[in-house]
């Protein structure tokens, strides 16, 4: 399976970062267009989450880092979607940049 790994650092607290990302993954219309059937689950205590859809599996976690927090997201795509890997990575990176700015 092709994987996409996105790491972002931001100045927000880990709790704030986790809230922003969980809101994004739960409610973003553009991400729903990529796979309308996906379900997202979050664990606020561990500041982690996962999303599973018909076309992908994703895991994310937020960790405290000096001056803010660090987000790590790993998305696994099936082989037949490896051609759109770049588009998925670009879309996710752009969305994360917007909410963490």
Task: Please tell me the predicted confidence (pLDDT) of residue 4.
Answer: 92
Q: Are 8 and 69 in contact (CB under 8 A)?
A: no
Q: Mind listing the pLDDT tens digit for each residue in 8-37?
A: 999 999 999 999 999 988 888 887 777 878
Report the domain count for the chain.
1
Find the radius of gyration of the CA atoms of the chain: 13
Question: What is the Cβ-side half-sphere exposure of residue 69, based on CA atoms within 13 angstroms?
Answer: 20
H runs (alpha helix) in the chain: 14-27, 29-34, 85-100
State which residues form the domain around 14: 3-100
Give the CA angle between residues 94, 98, 101 to the nearest 5°: 125
Averaged pLDDT of the chain: 90
Q: Residue 67 belongs to a domain with what CATH number?
A: 3.30.530.20
């Amino acid at each position: 399976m092709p994987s996409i790994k996105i790491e972002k650092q931001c100045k927000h607290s880990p709790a704030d970062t986790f809230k922003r990302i969980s809101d994004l993954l739960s409610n973003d219309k553009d991400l729903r267009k990529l796979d309308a059937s996906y379900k997202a689950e979050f664990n606020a205590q561990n500041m982690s989450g996962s999303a599973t859809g018909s076309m992908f599996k994703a895991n994310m976690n937020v960790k405290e880092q000096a001056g803010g927090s660090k987000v790590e997201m790993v998305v696994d795509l099936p082989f037949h979607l490896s051609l759109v890997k770049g588009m998925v990575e670009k879309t996710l990176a752009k969305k994360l940049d917007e909410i963490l700015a």
